[in-house]
Amino acid sequence: MKPTNQIVALLLVVQAVAAIYMWGITSFWTLSAGGFAIFLAIDLLSFALIAYVYTHEKWGEGVNRAWIVAGSAGLIILLLASLYLS
């Protein structure tokens, strides 16, 4: 599997987990609106990264590793923030 496909697969997993978690929040336990917002933000950010990888691969330009690293760091910070807020 190409590295970019691996990135997309990983991001899809993150997105799916975030989505399930987000919709499960109210069923399992009470979480603040902040926690909800952050899981929705994780979902959107991972989608933005997938869109970035998809478009740049399609245009034959390759992906810039710095953006992927920055995006992944952003996702980790958001996850940590969700722990803090919950």
Partner 1 sequence: MTEEKLTRSARLSSWFDSRLGLTYSLLRPAPRYSMNPFYWLGALTVVAFLIQGVSGVIMMLYYVPSPSSAFASTQYIFQTVYFGRFLETVHLYTAYAMIMLAFMHMMRGYFVSVQKKPREMMWVVGMVMGFVTLGFGFTGYLLPWTVVSKSATDVGIGMISALPSVLSSAILFLIVGAGGDATELLRFYDLHVVVLPAVLLVLLTLKMYMLEVHGIAEPSTGQPSDASAARGLPIFPDVTFYLLGLAAMFGSAMLLVSAVFPLSLPPEYTPQLAAQFTPQPDWYFLWIYQILKISVFEGAGLPVALSLVTLIFIVLLILPFVDRGQTRKIHDRPTYVTLGLIFVAELIVLAYWGLESPGQIIGTEEAVLVLGGTAILVGVASWAAYHFLPGHGGNHAVPKAKGVLRTAVGFVSLLAGGATGIGWLLNSLVRLVVIGPSFSNVFELILSCVLLMAVVPLTVLFLYSLESRNGSLKRRLRILEIGSGNK
**What does the binding site for partner 1 look like in residue numbers (CB under 8 A)?**
26, 33-38, 40-42, 44-45, 47-52, 54-55, 58-59, 78, 81, 85
2 vs 65 by CB, closer to partner 1: 2
Question: What share of residues in the chain are helix, strand, coil (percent, to 5)?
Answer: 85, 0, 15
Supply φ then ψ for residue 28, to 5 degrees: -90, -50
Minimal distance in Å, beta carbon 40 to partner 1? Answer: 5
What is d(CA 37, CA 5) in angstroms, rounded to the nearest whole number? 28
17 vs 48 by CB, closer to partner 1: 48
